[in-house]
Amino acid sequence: NAGVTQTPKFQVLKTGQSMTLQCAQDMNHEYMSWYRQDPGMGLRLIHYSVGAGITDQGEVPNGYNVSRSTTEDFPLRLLSAAPSQTSVYFCASSNSRTGANTGELFFGEGSRLTVL
């Protein structure tokens, strides 16, 4: 069972470079979201989507873009990477349309990004 798959697992970028973190789920979940995790900060919500074609901003959306063209995929784009974006990024999906009220979030294994 694949669940939520994130690629790449590790990436090093230079300041100003762009890249896309990929996230795919095979559970037919409507809800998907992206978080970043920094030491002592817990998980902070970047963007989320309640279904194909619908996205919304979370707590820390600046510097990140998302799109949701299919139910399965929810890529996170960094258009011009900055050292402050060095973090571990987690993608999650849920079988609840709300993603929150009683809906369990299923997380990927994370993508560790370093921006030099």
Partner 1 sequence: TQLLEQSPQFLSIQEGENLTVYCNSSSVFSSLQWYRQEPGEGPVLLVTVVTGGEVKKLKRLTFQFGDARKDSSLHITAAQTGDTGLYLCAGAANQAGTALIFGKGTTLSVSS
**Residue 74 found at the interface with partner 1 (CB under 8 A):** no
Contact 104, 86 (CB under 8 A): no
Does position 31 bind partner 1 by CB under 8 A? Answer: yes
**C-beta separation of 113 from 84 below 8 A:** no
Nearest approach, Cβ of residue 79 and partner 1 (Å): 23
| Residue count (the chain) | 116
In whole angstroms, how far apart are CA 81 and each of 33, 63, 65, 96?
Answer: 20, 8, 12, 32
Contacting range for partner 1; rule: CB under 8 A; set: 16-24, 70-78, 79-87, 100-108 = 100-108
Q: By CB under 8 A, is residue 45 in contact with partner 1?
A: yes
Residue 59 lies near partner 1 (rule: CB under 8 A): yes
The answer to the question of residue 26 lying near partner 1 (CB under 8 A) is no
